[in-house]
A and B are shown apart, each in its own frame.
Chain A
Amino acid sequence: MTTRLTKEGRPAAGTDYLSETRHRKLGFTLALAGLILAVVAFVANVAAAGLIGDGDEAGASSVLAWSFGLTTTAFGTIKLAIGIVLIGILVRLWLRVEAVKVALAGLKPQAEARVVTGDTSTPYGRAVAGREVPKPLPIHTMARRLWKPMLAMGYMAVVAGLVTSLVWSADEASTAAAAWTQGLQFLGEGLLLAGISFLLGTILGSLREGGGEVQEALGLTVKTLKMPTTAKVFIGLMALGVMAAMLQFVLYLVVAGGVDNTAAWFAWLGPLREVSLGLILSGVVMALVTIGNVLGFQFDRIKEIVTTGN
């Protein structure tokens, strides 16, 4: 089943909750394709190590140049696959919202509806109670708008870097080609991870909105978790990581333009680009932890409605 997302990030009307969506299979297939590319690059690298043993330094450098481009493309492909799987999760979360809305109306014991407002404490953190679905936070709106361009630009940068890696391979002594390849590909990797982060942000926004919709539809107090610390840390780490990814790209361009002692520059730019990805990945951990907490809060709230009717 093909499921299109609306501008609001919801599955198109009429999506059948019983059917399997294609995202999971498509994501797994793409991940497998990425793994195959990574294996090819692995074999090439081992072969390059053999060439060093044979004294063919130039041959080894040439192989290492294109295998670097191919490995990073493999990583990019698997990250794109992760993005597609996350879209599948987003679709399924909205189908779950509709299901819970329908089911709770039948499960909820008859009780006089008591709507309370104000701040409240829960085992999952501070929550706010009100009568209506809370408005999306600016970060949710931003995430909804940006995940697609980030994934697209990221993958394009990675592929552009693959092309420059072929130029680098043909002229293995070219500092400019080496710098362009590394800078472009790790900018692409950073943008892909940012796309994944924005998808996680969109999922968090959907959980907030969907949870509110269910409670509002039943005429109950709409309880929503306030933004937890883990979510704030997520945003901070992602922003830092994306800035570091852009910085490393600019610095690689400086190297491509010609600097003294290229080896010294490459010696710290490599770890800098890894730090940039590490920061975004740390943000992803925080986002996943936040999703776990929000889901726990929502299950508790559903249980409360099922047992008390309020």
Chain B
Amino acid sequence: MTINTLTNFKYTETAHSPGYNRLQRMGRRLWAPMFLMAVMAWPVGFALAIVRANELASASPDPTTVARLGQVVPAVMFIGFLSVFAAVSFAIARILGVFRKGGGDVQEASGRRVLTLKMTAAAKLFVALMAMAMMIIAVAVVLHFVVAGSVDTWSQATIEQWSITLEAVRRIGVAIYLVAIALGLGAIITVLRFQTIRVRQLPSETANG
């Protein structure tokens, strides 16, 4: 007799392991390039910040250079943050993929039905918020470069207004990214619960053929 305790879950039933889905394959491929981009961006951003600090500390700081670097430094630093948060998200998607493939493989190897949890609402929201956060930060980064290119034509007040607004945009992007990560990790809890219940069912279920 099979203990029917999976009624609260939406799942698919197949004869074979479903393997990774598209997003999980993407996660497997992209975490490493994103990670590399992040660790390359921060040293560049920090070096530019030192250049700006030196300019500010000099006897006659050039206001254009200071203002320009004031835009370029956060832009480069946030290329790093955009990349590292993407790497974290892709690494979470990769873990979800391991559960999906591994869970399917074990059920298939045992000769039982392969039940796979459908993408949960938290996982869908994780993907949507991650994409949204990535775009928000990317837009802020691009606009920082636009402002950096306009420092010699715009007034100081205008540049300051842009700086404050873009800082706000970057921060909200980070907050959304962090919420997406919490949701992605929450999806792992659901997968673990589903698989724990399913693995307990396996011995009492008749093997196929």
Q: Is chain B a partner of chain A in the same complex?
A: yes
Where chain A touches its partner, the secondary structure class is helix
Known: A38-B171, A271-B45, A285-B84. A82 touches B95 (CB 8 A): no
Taking the complex as formed, is A81 at the interface, i.e. its CB lies under 8 A from any CB of chain B? yes
In contact, B57 and A275 (Cβ under 8 angstroms): no
User: A93 CA to B174 CA in the complex, in Å?
Assistant: 29
Query: Are the C-beta atoms of B106 and A35 separated by less than 8 Å?
Result: no
Task: Give the Cβ gap from A33 to chain B, nearest Cβ, in Å.
Answer: 10
Question: How many contacting A-B pairs (Cβ < 8 A)?
Answer: 220
What bracket does the count of chain B residues touching chain A fall in? 35 or more
Find out whether the CB atom of B202 lies under 8 angstroms from the CB atom of A17: no
- In the complex, which residues of chain B have a beta carbon less than 8 angstroms from the beta carbon of A221? none
Flag the segment in A23-31, A112-120, A138-146 that touches B. Answer: A23-31
Q: Which residues of B contact A270 (CB under 8 A)?
A: 49
A164 within 8 A of B: no
Question: Is the C-beta of A156 less than 8 angstroms from some C-beta in chain B?
Answer: no
B49 to chain A minimum Cβ distance, whole angstroms, is 4
Q: Which residue of A lies closest to B181 (CB)?
A: A82
Answer whether residue A18 sits at the interface, using C-beta atoms and an 8 A cutoff: yes
Which chain A residues lie closer than 8 Å to B200 at the CB level? Answer: 17, 99, 102-103
Residues of B near A81 (CB, < 8 A) are 182
**Nearest-neighbor residue (CB-CB) of A18 within chain B:** B5
Stretch at the interface among A44-52, A129-137, A170-178: A44-52
Taking the closest CB of chain A, its distance from the CB of B86, in whole angstroms, is 10
Task: Say whether A271 contacts B77, CB under 8 Å.
Answer: yes
Number of interface residues of A (CB under 8 A): 79
CB-based nearest A residue for B5: A18
User: Complex: how many Å from CA A50 to CA B160?
Assistant: 10
- Does A86 reach chain B (CB closer than 8 Å)? yes
Q: Does B42 contact A (CB under 8 A)?
A: yes
Contact string, A280-310, partner B, CB cutoff 8 A, digits 1/0? 0110111011011001101110110011000
Write 6 A-B pairs (CB below 8 A) sorted by A numbering.
A32-B179, A34-B175, A49-B165, A78-B178, A292-B98, A306-B109
Report A's interface with B, CB cutoff 8 A. 17-18, 20-21, 23-24, 27-28, 31-32, 34-35, 38-39, 41-42, 45-46, 48-50, 52-53, 55, 60, 64, 71, 74-75, 78-79, 81-82, 85-86, 88-89, 92-93, 95-96, 99-100, 102-103, 105-107, 261, 263-265, 267-268, 270-272, 274-275, 278-279, 281-282, 284-286, 288-289, 291-292, 295-296, 298-300, 302-303, 306-307
Excluding A46-B168, A288-B91, 10 further A-B contacts by CB distance (< 8 Å) are A49-B164, A52-B161, A53-B161, A64-B164, A82-B182, A89-B185, A95-B196, A264-B54, A278-B42, A278-B77
